[in-house]
Amino acid sequence: MGAWWWWKSDWRNRVASWIAWRLPRRVVGWCAVRVAAHATTGEYSDTIVPDLTALDAIQRWEEAAYQPGGILYNELTEAS
């Protein structure tokens, strides 16, 4: 039963991973450019690009999603 619980709790990540590995390399490359561009503009415009780590860029992307107007903001406010 333990394995079923793990699979059920992680199904969203499994689906996203399955899709990501099947996307064309060119699309994935442009996604990476989009995330890096977001992580070095606006309030982060003083960031030196070579000093930006992938984890920092992803964290900034995720934080922006939960800000007003962000992609996940409505889901967060409707759940409360």
pLDDT computed for residue 70 by the predictor? 66
Q: Rounded mean pLDDT of the chain?
A: 80
Q: What is the pTM of this model?
A: 0.65
Provide the 3-class DSSP secondary structure of residue 51: helix
Domain positions in the chain: 2-79
The model's pLDDT over 23-54, given as tens digits with 9 standing for 90+, comes to 999 999 999 999 999 899 888 889 898 999 99
CA-based nearest residue to 26, from 18, 34, 14: 34
pLDDT computed for residue 10 by the predictor? 78
Q: Structure tokens of 77? A: 């406010």
